[in-house]
Structure 1
Amino acid sequence: MKNVSNVFYITVVLIIISVLLGAIFPTQAEQLTADLNAFLSRTFGWYYMWLMIGLISVSIIIAVGPYGKIRLGKHNDRPDFSNASWIAMLFSAGLGIGLVFYGASEPLFHAFSDSPLSEPGTDQAYKEAFSHTFFHWGLHGWAMYGIVALSLAFFQFRKDEPGLISSTLKPLFGDRMKGPFGTVIDVLATFATIFGVATSLGLGAAQVNGGLNHLFGIEVSFTTQFIIIIIVTVLFLTSAWSGLSKGIKWLSNTNMVLAILLFLAVVIIGPTLLILNMFTETFGLYLQNIVGMSFRMASLEGDNRAWLDAWTIFYWAWWISWAPFVGMFIARVSRGRTIREFMIGVMVVPTLIIAIWFATFGTTAGEVQRSGVDLTQYSTEMVIFNMFDQMPFSFFLSLIAVLLIITFFITSADSATFVLGMQTTNGSLTPPTAVKLTWGLAQSAVATVLLYVGGLQALQNTIIAAALPFSFVVMLMVISLMKALNKELRLIKGKKS
């Protein structure tokens, strides 16, 4: 196949080995992922925390400093997409299934089941639940996406380098990035992408299954989830065939329409005034306590370390594993924007959308819980549907939610096939269809095996392991980007003088 690099063949072999081992030895695979997760969370939890703190600090410096005027492209380049379509694509690729999966359940569990700080069920725990949820989904994670995407966009559109992770490290390692060292870097990025996206596809299959069971009584089982993955795989591969400007753009806009429709319905039907009040107060609580949450490690025996590992450390690893995929996709659709415009768009706008979303669904779920209906008894993927049962038009709300999950499912997988195609064809902006189809089948196969060997827990366990190697690459990318931006500023000042 034209332009296909060694990264493609090496990663395909690694994925095939992983899938076969998981399918042949499911019990051992489940135990291995659990043991590895426990070891990495305990040993490297502090490292994940410092990495995210560093990234958000660098992102702020870049956004407000003199680098902000640099354009991601040539001097006369302007954005390829309108602001609305750009935000829609950021929203769909960077959030996707997780927003529906955790929208009602995460604040609920933090408030009424397993609070990190206060006694579950108290008013204080209720408020803290939202600030911690915003923390997990807000500025820190988007700083990770933003730095990776900015590095890729700067080197690709400003410096005419291939759209590869390895290309962003040239200021540090020069032409060695064109050899085996660069291949290793791109294999790590591709491997992390496969497992990061597969986790979301697994979550999506589980929640679609849960929704269909709730609406139509369809059995919740691995077999049903396997069939869902097959059907959605056919749909997103069809979309991938149509190309970026058609398939992904149309699906992203569809996602936004469905998400806005569901959001407005819950705001209007739910406890509207309380939602507005809780959003205002708890978003302020998030901003007020962001430094303390960023450094919290639950170091002593009496601290709730299990909560930190299960939520914060898992989320930081998930953001890292998604970074090469989302970063490359965001870079691809951001040519022509200034760095300041880019960083504000990537960090601030999604954080506000996320906070409003979680405040809406979390407050509604919380009030259902406080009315006497115990939503915490349900699994994560089922909370939102049982919450809708306590509201008018419950069938239609659940149906919209299932459709939204499916379109998110398709968009994430579709975007990932394009990005994986870029990573394994020397950064081609038009990767061969055969390559995209290969990666589409590969990520669906990984999602299927992870569900088979241990369900949702295996999905979460795998994320921690897949993220660690790529996290070291991210640190190198930050150093390389800052070096290149300083050089670019000197060049710009030299031309003006």
Structure 2
Amino acid sequence: MLERLQRALGLKTNPAIFFTSAALVFVFVVCSVVFTDAVDAAFGAASDAIKTNLGWFYILGVTSFLVFLLWIALSRFGHVRLGGKDARPEYGNVTWFGMLFAAGIGTILMFWGVAEPINHFANPPLSGVDEQVASLSESAGSAEAFAEGLREIPVQAGDAVPLSEDAANQAIGFTLYHFGFHTWAIFTLPALAFAYFAYRRGLPFRVSSIFHPILGERINGPIGKVIDVTAVIGTLFGVAVSIGLGTLQINSGLNGLFGIEIGKPTQIAIIAIVTTIATISVVLGLDKGIKWLSNINIWMAVGLLVFILLAGSTVFLLRGVIESAGTYLSALIPLSFWNDTLPAEGWGWQGNWTVFYWAWTITWAPFVGIFVARISKGRSIREFVLGVLGAPVAFSVVWFSVFGLSAINIEWHDPGSLVGPVVQEGDTASALFSFLENFPATEFVMAMSVLIVVIFFTTSSDSASLVVDMLTSGNALNPPTRQRVFWAVLEGVVAATLIAATGQEALQALEEVITVLGLPFFLVAFLTMYCLVRALREDVADEELLPRRTRRMLAKRREKAPAPD
């Protein structure tokens, strides 16, 4: 029956995966609208249970992924080329790097570039002052009084006082931990697996293909379909959270520029408009749509970065970028294993920040992974891993250092100007625009920032619709455009539902849903590491594991060797 329906609609997909995924998402949307309170309560309870009992598993998992990737890149498998030993990259390094940002990391940079450092500056993660900060935010009258009160919060010996130099170092260290190697390890692991099984074994771009060493041809049976449906649903919600965050930020920017009201009707309208733009980009295709938009947007983002660097305290920021890199590297190993263990009852800080980030990122990982694999054919495993980990992380270090230290510097010289709206009022989405009010040409720069977020939003939705379509069909070659349009529209519907049909604050609702959906993806990721190593050992000949120069030398020796009698 599903196959007949597929033919009637002119689709080219796996009908069981496509229609089951669409139906389950539709059921969620209806239940969220009709049973709002029950859905809120269910996800809230499940999210709290995961943060309390399995937060350590999320922390251990992401650190394990990073260690595994570094090992496989530097091992003898690093010479293996994705697509065969003679394959070469389809895209140059600059274009490849720009398209990595099309996968959605740009939205993260814009939303959290100011918001996270300022939050940690006011509430140092290792000091355990959450309750005091929350109480002060309610009792302090003005933003200036709030900032003054933060500096007077008593802390234990050796802990950072809010808004102090130690707090600034913690703010930068934790921010880079959240958006550095660990985040990109979550993206890189499935990307490498997708690329390997698609280009070396000729399997479809589906999550079930990663399990081929274990399941064999059963990846095309019921077990494989369950895996793929789960991946599609998780990916849709992961992308929807990103779209939701971008929507909140766009709404905040439009409010600052034109006084447009902040609220759910406006946010739904924003999602509708940007989804329409993304749909047009979908119709244009990968090379004309995503590639063109991502190249434009990365240069706009770099332009904004340079403006902040030159218009702010330039020397302070140049020194700070170098120092921030050192702060991050020195804190990398301790934070990779930190679990918010002491005091015994825990402070709960990590569940609301790190655990949420890892859960959100890993639900997004199949989307980013397939997209990165799609644009990375021909690269060696070593080049792939070090490139996907290295280039975006280097840019993130510069970005968060410049924006984070600029925000901290502004707060130092004008107490309350940023911690007031961002921390005391809890308006995280307005952080960037409150920050930009301290720079010249404010309205122009704010307008450009809104445009950057819109384009990042568009390329995320555009890329996601292509990838979700590949997850349901496994076909990377010219699927019907109507399929990608369907997924682009559905992503917008899910994002609008998460924001509008929940009884809680939008950001809190997004966090709780994604924390729950992230759990099965961690289990899949651990199996991915095993399957990838097993496949490499089964498929790759010893000679291919040698460096290319050595292989060429051996080939020349064979050519010169006398023919056997």
- TM-score clears 0.5: yes
One of 436, 440, 446 as aligned partner of 1:388: 436
CA contact (8 A) 1:418 1:431 kept: no
In the alignment, what sits opposite 1:324? 366
In the alignment, what sits opposite 2:452? 404
Bigger CA drift: 427-436 or 267-276? 427-436
Residue identity matched to 1:459: L
Residue identity matched to 2:525: V
1:74-85, aligned counterparts within 5 Å? Answer: 74-85=84-95
One of 365, 368, 388 as aligned partner of 2:410: 368
Residue identity matched to 2:74: V
Do the aligned partners of residues 78 and 276 (structure 1) sit closer, same or farther apart at CA in structure 2, a change above 3 Å counting? same
Bigger CA drift: 53-62 or 369-378? 369-378
One of 63, 73, 81 as aligned partner of 1:53: 63
In the alignment, what sits opposite 1:144? 186
Q: Helix, strand or coil: the match of 1:190?
A: helix
Residue identity matched to 1:471: F
Instruction: Determine whether 1:106 maps to 2:116.
Output: yes
In the alignment, what sits opposite 1:92? 102
Q: Helix, strand or coil: the match of 2:341?
A: coil
How does the TM-score come out when normalised to structure 2?
Answer: 0.85
Instruction: Determine whether 1:472 maps to 2:514.
Output: no
In the alignment, what sits opposite 1:217? 259
Give the superposition deviation at 1:302. Answer: 6.2
1:181-220, aligned counterparts within 5 Å? Answer: 181-220=223-262
Deviation sequence 1:406-440 (CA, Å, 0-9, x none): 00000000000000010111333322212112211
1:244-393, aligned counterparts within 5 Å? Answer: 244-301=286-343, 305-374=347-416, 375-378=418-421, 379-393=427-441
Let me know the Cα RMSD of the aligned residues: 1.6
Give the superposition deviation at 1:303. Answer: 7.1
Residue identity matched to 2:511: Q
Instruction: Determine whether 1:444 maps to 2:495.
Output: no
Task: Write the distance in 2 (CA, Å) between the matches of 1:400 and 1:394.
Answer: 10
Structure 2 unaligned residues grouped into runs of 5+: 1-10, 128-159, 422-426, 555-565
Do the aligned partners of residues 92 and 2 (structure 1) sit closer, same or farther apart at CA in structure 2, a change above 3 Å counting? closer
Give the superposition deviation at 1:373. Answer: 4.2
CA contact (8 A) 1:155 1:167 kept: yes
Q: Bigger radius of gyration, 1 or 2?
A: 2
Task: Write the distance in 1 (CA, Å) between the matches of 2:85 and 2:76.
Answer: 16
Bigger CA drift: 304-313 or 213-222? 304-313
Deviation sequence 1:356-405 (CA, Å, 0-9, x none): 00011111111111112421222111111111111111111111110010
Do the aligned partners of residues 494 and 327 (structure 1) sit closer, same or farther apart at CA in structure 2, a change above 3 Å counting? closer
Instruction: Determine whether 1:482 maps to 2:533.
Output: yes
Bigger CA drift: 108-117 or 184-193? 108-117
Do the aligned partners of residues 451 and 3 (structure 1) sit closer, same or farther apart at CA in structure 2, a change above 3 Å counting? closer
Deviation sequence 1:253-290 (CA, Å, 0-9, x none): 01111101111100000111111222212221211121
Task: Write the distance in 1 (CA, Å) between the matches of 2:273 and 2:112.
Answer: 23
Structure 1 unaligned residues grouped into runs of 5+: none
Do the aligned partners of residues 304 and 356 (structure 1) sit closer, same or farther apart at CA in structure 2, a change above 3 Å counting? farther
Give the superposition deviation at 1:119. Answer: 2.2
Do the aligned partners of residues 485 and 210 (structure 1) sit closer, same or farther apart at CA in structure 2, a change above 3 Å counting? same
Task: Write the distance in 1 (CA, Å) between the matches of 2:336 and 2:251.
Answer: 35
Do the aligned partners of residues 494 and 395 (structure 1) sit closer, same or farther apart at CA in structure 2, a change above 3 Å counting? closer
Residue identity matched to 2:537: N
Deviation sequence 1:54-83 (CA, Å, 0-9, x none): 101110011111111111102322111111
Task: Write the distance in 1 (CA, Å) between the matches of 2:538 and 2:321.
Answer: 42
